[in-house]
Amino acid sequence: MNSYPHPVRVGIVGATGYAGQELVALLARHPGARLETAMSSSAESAARPMPRLARVWQGEIEPLSERRLAAAADVVFLAVPEQAAARLAPPLVDAGVRVIDLSGAFRIRDAGARARWYPETAALPSGAAYGLTEHYKDDVRGAALVANPGCYPTAALLALLPLAKAGLLDAGAGVIIDAKSGISGAGRVPSDRTHFSENHGSVSAYGVFGHRHVAEMEQELGASVTFVPHLVPLDRGILETIYVKLQAGTTAEQVADAFTSAYHAEPFVRLTGDALPEIKHVAWTNFCDVGWRFESSTRRLVIVTCLDNLVKGAAGQALQNFNVACGFDERTALL
């Protein structure tokens, strides 16, 4: 049941970025939302149309106006860098506006870890929730601010949390995550790393022992994580191959039961079992596909998980959280 007495008035900041444009397109077809304003991330930007959104949404991207945002919206999506989100979110929450933040600014609960990775965020606003929808729905429903998970952690945590909660994961053996991401995961602002001639026909590792998403994964799992992301020449999509050991005596049936129990009622997680998933099966959707192979003699489990970094890894999961927070069917405008 929708908890608002009228169509929910929505604002977006950062609507010109990849995730922001996805949000505009999704919200434009949401029957219970009214997109009041879609803004750029700067007050100096001129109002302009977005060709991709022609006949999808009839409005124009406006310059950032914090005053208009607070007055026009019941819920605001922030699709901006963490420094901007850290500045924009607290006054919106104080004004009674619910915030769904797609940056990492409010994901880390520990103050020391947050100071290292997101130093612009001095504190978490009261009522902040970590928005991994399938595992924290109750927190999302009552949250004043939803910290939308990162794309890499979403894929990893959807794969690993059922095992950790079932007590099957041998946390002492560590977790190894080998991840591949399309170039849109680096954002819309170009760089040498995202140049076509640098990426076409190549695969490169980055962020070894220094990627901020590790803090998010370890926070939720309570285990040490070795994470190596790679940039691959695709426009969108993430595939993660995850290597763990399970507790002695764990059976293949227990592994399957852990995943089935966690996701049998979840519309956006598809379990593929031995049929390992591929990026092309999830691109442009809000699905996360999870497959696995288990070798009981060595206790080794290999999990392969895929999602679209701009949908389930960003805008789609943000809209999923919006649906839960505002009382809509979780699938609205996503299926």
Give me the catalytic one of 151, 288, 306, 326: 151
Residue 216 tokens read as 């998010």
Separation CA 195–CA 202 (nearest Å): 12
Which has the closest alpha carbon to 161: 211, 102, 120, 220?
220
* Tokens, residue 142: 């009552």
Report the distance separating Cα 335 and Cα 330, nearest Å: 9
Catalytic: 306? no
Cα–Cα distance list, 217 to 46, 223, 228, 285 (Å)? 38, 8, 13, 23
Question: Each residue of 64-93: b (16+ CB within 10 Å) or e?
Answer: bebeebbebbbbbbbbbbbebbbebbbebb
Provide Rg for the chain, Cα atoms.
20
What residues pair up with 179 in beta bridges, in sequence order?
229, 240
The closest of 137, 133, 107 to 334, measured between CA atoms, is 133
Question: In one letter, which amino acid is 161?
Answer: L
Which active-site residues does the annotation give? 151
